[in-house]
Structure 1
């Protein structure tokens, strides 16, 4: 029984290897869109987080950074922590 299983696996491996070799590398339509530029991939993969998805610990750490700047702290009191941090320090790192 073990011999039969090994024989079947070996025959499947041979079939897979020979089927890929029959097609030229440039004519394989499955690999045309396989590689993309790094910038394009990062925009597709990286998802921006909504403000409601931040945890209390993350909001507190943003608040501590913003409190060091008086203008940011004032904006934090009037417009909220997300708007103030984004205005003074750029996009939220998490």
Structure 2
């Protein structure tokens, strides 16, 4: 039984190594598909939104976080929610 299993594994290895699908790395030095153009990458990768493009729900979420901190709430009243949140909690997560 063990001999049969070893024989099957060896034959599969030989088939894989001799098939056309196998190409060593030295045959393909450019490695196509590894790099893409900037325009193509920009369509795939989600762009970060500008602060003015936040929805009302997102602004309300920021406001709720900022209201928990009295200093942030005071700054929110004078300079706006985006400036206050950024000052106290860092960049906007969405």
TM-score if structure 2 supplies the norm length? 0.57
Bigger CA radius of gyration: 2
- The structure with the greater share of residues assigned to helix is 1
Quickly say closer, same or farther: Cα 1:60–1:3, change in 2 above 3 A.
farther
Equivalent pairs, count: 94
Cα distance change, pair 76–31 in 1 and its aligned pair in 2 (3 A): same
TM-score normalised per structure 1: 0.57
User: Deviation of residue 51 (structure 1)?
Assistant: 1.0
The alignment's C-alpha RMSD in Å is: 7.0
**Distance of aligned partners of 1:13 and 1:82 in 2 relative to their CA distance in 1, 3 Å threshold:** farther
Unaligned segments of structure 1, at least 5 residues: none
> Matched residue of 2:34: which SS?
coil
